[in-house]
Amino acid sequence: MLKIIARRVFVAIPTLVLVTLIVFGLQKILPGDPLLTMAGEERDPQVLAFLREKYRLDDPFHVQYLAWLGNVLTGDFGNSLRTGVPVSTLIAQKLPVTLQLAVMAIIMAMLIGIPAGIIAAVRKGTVTDYAANAVALSGMSIPNFWLGIILIMIVSVQWRLLPASGYVPLTEDPLQSLRTMLMPSFVLGTALAAYLMRHTRSAMLGVLTSDYIRTARAKGLLPKTVILKHALRNALMPIVTLSTLLFGELLAGAVLTEQVFTIPGFGKLIVDAVFTRDYAVVQGVVLCTAVGFIFMNLIADVLYILINPRLRHPQ
Amino acid sequence: MSRPQALDDGTMQSVSPVTAPVLAVKDFSLTFKAGAETNLVESVSFSVSPGKTLCIVGESGCGKSVTSLALMGLLPSPPARIVSGTAEFNGRNLFAMPERARADLRGNEMAMIFQEPMTSLNPAFTVGQQIAEGIMRHRDVSKGEARAEALKMLEWVRIPAPEKRLDAYPHQLSGGMRQRVMIAMALANRPKLLIADEPTTALDVTIQAQILALVRQIQAETGTAMILITHDLGVVAEVADDVAVMYAGRIVESGPVEAIFGDPQHPYTIGLFGSVPSLGRRQGRLATIKGAVPPLDLMPKGCRFAPRCPLADSRCHDEVPPTVPFGDGHSAACWYAPIEQTMEARQ
Ligand SMILES: Nc1ncnc2c1ncn2[C@@H]1O[C@H](COP(=O)(O)OP(=O)(O)O)[C@@H](O)[C@H]1O
Ligand code: SF4
Ligand SMILES: [Mg+2]
């Protein structure tokens, strides 16, 4: 089994290299000369020359790339072109925020989506099934920012139950931190729950008609055991894979939701960076997100192996 | 050979001593389509006694599997609907029992082995877990005791290296081994009735014989009643005490195995068994009869075999034939039974 996992890790390496190449290469072909931004209004030729030297802009592409990659590997993503703060510092500040939001949102999505999918599959063709599908469809089509605003108006403004915005670090005040993140993660979670519900439903439908489910019932097992043990265990793979990938997407930050709830996460960082043409920050965040996504893919692969006895115990 | 002599044969009367049957099915009809005029299974009756084997034979699609699944309570309903009939299992009508009570019987007092050993075990759990689970469901035993009992069952069904197999996943076993596991699972709680739906059809010929020998030996050891659905006439001759011949959802002939082989009375049975009826081991599957079973909506009102029967006349097409008894439990549903008299009269 370790060999299979090692192989998956190995296969991920070319993808990583490709991603760094793209991130680095894109920067080169982006319009606008970042040096001009950095050199300020005067555009002193000496300053420009110094900067060209510093960023090795006269070296061939592969030399530039390797130098950059070397820095990235040591955790040096360069400095913000605007504020001069190291990009790694910015990322280290925002990552916990985005991570907490992503974890809470995916838990929310799984808590809603998986049970709903199971129930819809078991009650296939009944009112419950249609209702679950209708709710899922609206979950997918209601924009997050709209749901966020409505929730703020009702839950925060009218009922005064939860804070409308902001961010409290988990380490500072855990309860308040969870309370602040509850609404944004619910907004993100419900949207994803819809996808999870539909995938869970179709995976369960596929499994429920299989011969071994009939065998489980022939043993006299009660519906609860048949569905939650024998069927769900086999429907789990697509559910786990999807959950992992959705989580990877959440790591990229949720631009609109973060905006609505004024959460200082990745989404806000990247939007601010894009609007101020702070390419160094954009590059760092994009790279981080891409690596995070590749990592989640790897996790999905490993979980797949762990869940599947056929892969765990080859013949 | 003439029929009355066969009836007078002393050995035949001793075949079915009078004991209360484990299962007695009466007038069982089943449909999948609401409001359909023709039932998929129509007015089926049979019974099986402790320690005895009833073989149900008939062409593919005639309703053998749905009948056994209905008895086990494993048919999804809807769409399946039991239109009429009773199934007395140890005196209690299965069809009138609440679902929970039937689940208590399943895998406990009545068990079933399926045709598809490759797909009937859950790929996500070990063989030991799957056998132990059924034991724990019906008996008040600990996990460890259930595991020990599962091991005993694996030994009993002659699985080599049973300790090792206990922790094997189904994909690590061959088809024959998987069917042995299914048998172990079905028998783990010593059922009074075992339904085996073509248990060897999907297996290699050599494995078929082994599995069949195993099933027979286990039945001899436990005295369980068995309903064996099979295509193989050799198997029927070897293991059956009684035979029910099904055609298009109806039982057209039934009786002790000697009577069915030695003195078939229904034109369909005669066609199945070929022209020379004789008792003893036969190789091969059922003989093929010209024509095909009509689809349900084109089924004749009268005898369902009429479109393929060489003796059919207009009465056969229009009126359901009576079930004619010949004594000793042998009967056939045909307007022209007993058939020798008809043939003589026509000559
Ligand atoms: N769930 C179902 N819905 C509708 N028809 C079914 C269903 N299951 C089986 N049938 C029909 O019942 C008939 C008898 O099937 P079956 O009992 O499997 O035959 P066999 O005698 O070969 O075991 C077949 O024609 C099949 O099409
Ligand atoms: S009732 Fe008529 S059609 Fe049916 S089997 Fe007998 S002779 Fe043939
Ligand atoms: Mg069948």
A101, A263 Cβ separation under 8 angstroms: yes
CB contact under 8 A, A220 and B134: yes
Take atom 19 of ligand 1 and give the residue whose Cα is closest: B61
Identify whether A139 is part of a domain: yes
Percent share of chain B, pLDDT over 90:
52
Taking the Cβ of residue B105 and every Cβ of chain A, the question of whether any pair is shorter than 8 Å is answered with: yes
What's this model's pTM, rounded to 2 decimal places? 0.83
Quick check: is A283 in a domain? no
Q: Is B97 helix (H, G, I), strand (E, B) or coil?
A: coil
Domain assignment of residue A106, given as a range: 100-265
Q: Which residue has the higher pLDDT, A248 or B94?
A: B94
- Has residue B18 got a pLDDT over 70? no
pLDDT tens figures, B262-292: 888 898 998 887 644 444 344 444 555 677 8
Domain with residue A197: its CATH number is 1.10.3720.10
**How many angstroms is it from B248 CA to the middle of ligand 1?**
11
Which pLDDT belongs to residue B39?
87
Rounded CA-CA distance B251/B245 in Å is: 6
Kindly report the protein residue whose alpha carbon is nearest to atom 23 of ligand 1: B65
Find the mean pLDDT for residues A80-85.
84
Indicate which residue's Cα is closest to atom 5 of ligand 2: B334
Per-residue pLDDT, averaged over A110-128, amounts to 93
* A41/A270: higher pLDDT: A270
Q: What is the ipTM of this complex?
A: 0.86
Any domain includes A284: no
CA of B258 to the centre of ligand 2 (A): 22
In a domain, A227, yes or no: yes
Residue B279 pLDDT:
40
The DSSP annotation for chain A comes to -HHHHHHHHHHHHHHHHHHHHHHHHHHHHSSS-HHHHHHTTT--HHHHHHHHHHTTTTS-HHHHHHHHHHHHHTT---B-TTT--BHHHHHHHHHHHHHHHHHHHHHHHHHHHHHHHHHHHHTTTSHHHHHHHHHHHHHHHS-HHHHHHHHIIIIIIIS--S-SS----TTT-HHHHHHHHHHHHHHHHHHHHHHHHHHHHHHHHHHHTSHHHHHHHHTT--HHHIIIIIIHHHHHHHHHHHHHHHHHHHHT--HHHHHHTT--SHHHHHHHHHHTT-HHHHHHHHHHHHHHHHHHHHHHHHHHHHH-HHHHS--
Q: Ligand 1 test: best mutation among B28, B31, B40, most atoms within 8 Å of CB? A: B40
- Kindly report, residue by residue over A14-63, the tens digit of the pLDDT: 888 888 888 888 777 766 566 666 666 667 777 777 777 776 677 788 88
pLDDT tens digits for B91-129? Answer: 899 999 999 999 999 999 999 999 998 999 999 999 999
Among the partner residues A212, A214, A221, nearest to B137 by beta-carbon distance: A221
Residue bearing the CA closest to ligand 1, atom 24: B61
Q: Which ligand is nearest to the CA of B248?
A: 1
- Any CB–CB contact under 8 A between A218 and chain B? yes
Q: How many domains, in total, are found in chain A?
A: 1
Is any ligand 2 atom within 6 A of the Cβ of residue B303?
A: yes
Task: Please work out whether the CB of residue B286 comes within 6 Å of at least one atom of ligand 1.
Answer: no
Identify the closest residue of chain B to A308 by CA–CA distance.
B124
pLDDT digits over B141-163, tens only?
Answer: 999 999 999 999 999 888 999 99
CB pairs < 8 Å spanning A and B: 75
Among B39, B56, B60, B65, the mutation site with the greatest number of ligand 1 atoms within 8 A of its Cβ is B65
Quick check: is A222 in a domain?
yes
Across A38-47, A69-78, A162-171, B90-99, which has the greatest mean pLDDT?
B90-99
Tokens of B265: 């009375």
Half-sphere exposure of B336 (CA within 13 A, CB side): 23
> In chain B, what are the domain boundaries?
123-188
Q: Is the pLDDT of residue A68 over 90?
A: no
